[in-house]
Amino acid sequence: MDLHQLRERIAQIESEVAASLTKAGSGDAVRGLDNRVLGKEGSLSALITSIKEYPPDQRGQVGKLVNEAKARVKASFEARLAELRAADAQAEASAAGAFDATLPGVAAPMGAVHPVTAVQWEVERLFERLGFTLEAGPEMESEYNNFEALNIPASHPARDMQDTFWLTNGMVLRTHTSPVQHRSMKKFGPPLRVIAPGRCFRYETIDASHENTFHQIEGLLIDRDIGLPHLIALAKMLLTEVMQREVELRVRPGYFPFVEPGLEIDMNCRICGGKGCPTCKNSGWVEVLPAGMVHPNVLRAGSIDPDEWSGFAFGLGLTRLAMMKYGIRDIRVLNSGDLRATVSPVRLGGPIVWEKSA
Ligand SMILES: [Zn+2]
């Protein structure tokens, strides 16, 4: 083969490569072709191995021609591979539907409000409208504030009803939010309107309606000429507003040492509609609002003259109310990590919307 024939052979290989490349529909096909032309025994590489058949003064020329051809062919392979990759990407995009990179991303879920918190906020808003002050008390209380100041001396059998957790420093985990009654009387003096939401603790055997940790809202109103009708009217309004429907109430005498007379204000069980279920202990009624007229001893302990002032107090069972409102059968889920027991912000409605942070 002389140089002229070599040039023709190279041109022939290149045109074959060009024809095959347009037909190569995949990266693998291109790589296969690459191997047949540029591989160790490929058609172009074979031309280099024949270099020793040329006279020495032509060998440089032969090497140059073949290497230039190799570079052109290599570039054409790479161009075709790039074309194929671009086509693949486009096909993928159209298969996935129109993809618009300028659209905003999908917002992560914002979380939700615990049912007890949702009800607590609702009750707080209601009482704020009625002129009540929001107070908080400590969860660790003195024995005096939790019991003595509320007319429950050490010898009193009512202490057994509220077995609690005693701490090594002599304090107790409060068994109710009622200590805030005493604290508020000392802090504000009469007349006063206070609510105090918070956690309470009792040494309870846990079942569907009892927990060792639960939430209450304490309410206290002290003024002149306050009587039971004020209390019952407020209870009716409170429960109707929170449940967002007409609520049937049952008022029974109840005994609590810090009120006289004492009442149990119950509402009909929403879980069973009054037929009886484990949540309402098969009675059809749920105790949500123990209440009563503040006992004169409690007023005196708070430095308030019972001959001049009277008032009522209640301990709204926030946990039970949340269960009734949202149809939660078992109190235990409320302190568990089960996220199904949360309230979607959308369901809150009314004034308590979960406000989006900007
Ligand atoms: Zn029931």
CA of 244 to the centre of ligand 1 (A): 19
CA of 267 to the centre of ligand 1 (A): 10
CA of 288 to the centre of ligand 1 (A): 13
Q: Is the dihedral of CA 294, 298, 299, 302 positive or negative?
A: negative
- pLDDT of 340 reads 63
- pLDDT of 350 reads 37
The CA-CA-CA angle for residues 219, 221, 224, to 5°, reads 165
CA of 268 to the centre of ligand 1 (A): 8
- pLDDT of 326 reads 84
CA of 214 to the centre of ligand 1 (A): 19
- pLDDT of 55 reads 87
CA of 202 to the centre of ligand 1 (A): 23
Domain ranges of the chain: 3-95, 115-348
Nearest to 125 by CA among 233, 238, 33: 238
CA of 279 to the centre of ligand 1 (A): 5
Measured distance CA(230)–CA(293) in Å, rounded: 10
Measured distance CA(300)–CA(316) in Å, rounded: 24
Tell me the pLDDT tens digit for each residue of 132-148. Answer: 999 999 999 999 999 99
CA of 329 to the centre of ligand 1 (A): 9
Enumerate residues with CB within 5 Å of ligand 1 (an ion). 269, 271-272, 277, 279-280
CA of 286 to the centre of ligand 1 (A): 7
What is the residue whose two structure tokens read 């209380």? 141
Q: Are 73 and 117 in contact (CB under 8 A)?
A: no
Phi, psi of 327 (to 5 degrees): 65, 40
Mean pLDDT by 10 residues, the chain (358 residues): 87 90 86 87 84 86 89 90 87 73 74 86 93 93 92 80 83 93 94 94 80 90 93 91 87 91 90 84 89 95 95 91 83 75 46 35
Q: Are 314 and 290 in contact (CB under 8 A)?
A: yes
CA of 313 to the centre of ligand 1 (A): 26
Extract the tokens encoding 277: 């279920």
CA of 249 to the centre of ligand 1 (A): 14
What is the residue whose two structure tokens read 């609520």? 247
Q: Are 201 and 177 in contact (CB under 8 A)?
A: no
Domain 115-348 coded CATH 3.30.930.10: yes
Amino acid at site 329: R
CA of 324 to the centre of ligand 1 (A): 9
Tell me the pLDDT tens digit for each residue of 226-271. Answer: 999 999 999 999 999 888 888 888 999 998 889 999 999 998 888 8
CA of 276 to the centre of ligand 1 (A): 4
Q: Is the dihedral of CA 123, 246, 130, 149 positive or negative?
A: negative
Nearest to 186 by CA among 226, 135, 140: 135
CA of 338 to the centre of ligand 1 (A): 22
DSSP H helical segments within the chain, as ranges? 3-23, 27-38, 43-49, 56-95, 115-129, 143-146, 158-161, 179-188, 228-243, 296-301, 318-326, 345-348
Q: DSSP class of residue 71?
A: H
Q: How many CB atoms lie within 10 A of CB 178?
A: 31
CA of 341 to the centre of ligand 1 (A): 19
- pTM for the full predicted model: 0.63
CA of 323 to the centre of ligand 1 (A): 11
